[in-house]
Amino acid sequence: MTAEDSAVSLADRWSAVMMNTYGTPRPALVRGEGSTVWDESGRAYTDFTGGIAVNTLGHAHPAVVEAVTAQVSRLGHVSNLFVSEPAVALAERLSALFGRPGRVFFANSGTEAVEAAFKIARRTGRTHMVAAEQGFHGRTMGALALTGQAAKRDAFLPLPGEVTHVPFGDVEALRGAVTEDTAAVVLEPVQGEAGVVPAPQGYLRAAREITHATGTLLVLDEVQTGIGRTGHWFAHQSVPGLAPDVVTLAKGLGGGLPIGATLAFGKAADLLGPGDHGSTFGGNPVACAAGLAVLETVEAENLLPQVVLKGAELRRGIEELRHPLVREVRGAGLLLGVGLAEPVAARVQRAAQDAGFLVTATGTSTVRLAPALTVMEEEIAALVKELPGILGA
C-alpha cells in the first residue's frame, strides 16, 4: 500500500474499484474477536449481524483458526477430480445430524446450493416449481427464479424455469398450486430476507403431505436457519418427524469460510449422476475443515440449548422495553426480527452503529439480529440497555 493509499479510507478505495452492487459501504472492519469487531479507526462494535448469520462461532474462534491453519498447511485444494478426507468427514457428519442416510453435494455458497437443488428437481423429468412469495433463495438465475421478491427479480426477467409463487403460510394456496407436474416445492422454514418470518405452525407438515401426495420433492432452504441458528441443528427439526427430500445449507456451516451444501435423501439422492453437476472449489479441504470445526464446537460447547436461552433472553429484553416503535419480535433462537411500527429500519441501523452495535435493516420496517451463537449474555444486555436510545434517535 502506498502513502497515498494510507491517506484514503478503505470505504473510498472500495468505491473506486468495486462494482456498485452494495451501495455506500458501512464501516471498514479490520479485526474481530468473538462478537466484537474493530474498524480502521480503532473503534469497537458489538456485532449482531453475524456476517448475515454466517459467523456461528464469532470472529477468530480458536477452533476454526486451528483447523484452517492446520489444513491449509497440509493440503489446500485438490478440485473435484480427487477425494479429500475433510470433505468425506464433513458429509458423514452432516448426514449423521439428519439421522438418516443421504448424499451431499458441496458448493461455495447458498445460491449454489439452491442451484444444485434446482437441477435435482429437473432430473425428476418435471419442470414446474412452486416457491413462496417474499422468499429469498439467492442471486444466480435459477435461485433468483425461485425468489419471490419482485425488486430483486424484475430487472433480470425472463428467468429460467416455470415457477409459481404462492403466499407464504397459506396451505390452501400451496395445495392449489402443486400438481403431479410439479417437480419441487422450495420453502424456507423462516423467511430471513423477508423480515424474519417463521412458517406458521403446521405449514411445513402440510407442505410435506401435499408433496407426498403428488410425488413432488420438498426442498427446504436452510441456508440462513441451519447449523444451530434457531436452537436446532436445522430449523425444520422443530417439527417432529418432518423429512424433506432436499435441504440446502451454507452461511453458518463454514463459520466464516465460503461453503455451501445440498443434501438429498431417498430417491432424490440419486437423481444427479456423473456429469450432471460440479464445482471446482466445492468440497475444498480448507472450507470443509472449517465446517467440521464448527460442528464439533457447537456440540462440544453445548451451544444449541444456549441459543434457545439467549434468544429468549434477547426477545424478552426487547419486548419488555415496551417501546412504541417496536411492534413485535419475530423469529427463533438467535435469528430475530424486530418489527417496527414505522418504516425507519435504515435509520435504526445507523443509530445502532453510532451507539456501537452492528445490526441489519431488512426491508423498511424490520431490524434483523443474528449474532454469533457464542454471543455473551452481557453483550445481549448491553444492546437491550442501549436500545431505547437507539430507537429514540
For the annotated catalytic residues, the residue numbers are 136, 221, 251
With beta carbons less than 8 A apart as the criterion, state whether 353 and 27 touch: yes
Q: How many angstroms separate the CA atoms of 228 and 234, rounded?
A: 6
Q: Is omega for the bond preceding 27 within 30 degrees of 0, making it cis?
A: no
306: left (phi over 0), alpha (psi -120 to 50) or beta: alpha
With beta carbons less than 8 A apart as the criterion, state whether 61 and 255 touch: yes
CA distances from 358 to 10, 92, 307, 316 (A): 18, 35, 19, 20
The torsion defined by the Cα of 18, 40, 377 and 361, in degrees rounded to 10, comes to -30
SS3 per-residue string spanning the chain: CCHHHHCCCHHHHHHHHCCCCCCCCCCCEEEEEECEEEECCCCEEEECCHHHHCCCCCECCHHHHHHHHHHHHHCCCCCCCCCCHHHHHHHHHHHHHHCCCEEEEEECCHHHHHHHHHHHHHCCCCCEEEEECCCCCCCCHHHHHHCCCHHHHHHHCCCCCEEEEECCCCHHHHHHHCCCCEEEEEECCEECCCCCEECCCCHHHHHHHHHHHHCCEEEEECCCCCCCCCCCCCHHHHCCCCCCCEEEECHHHHECECCEEEEEEHHHHHCCCCCCCCCCCCCCHHHHHHHHHHHHHHHHCCHHHHHHHHHHHHHHHHHHHCCCCEEEEEEECCEEEEEECCCCHHHHHHHHHHCCEECEECCCCEEEECCCCCCCHHHHHHHHHHHHHHHHC
Count the neighbouring beta carbons within 10 Å of the beta carbon of residue 21: 6
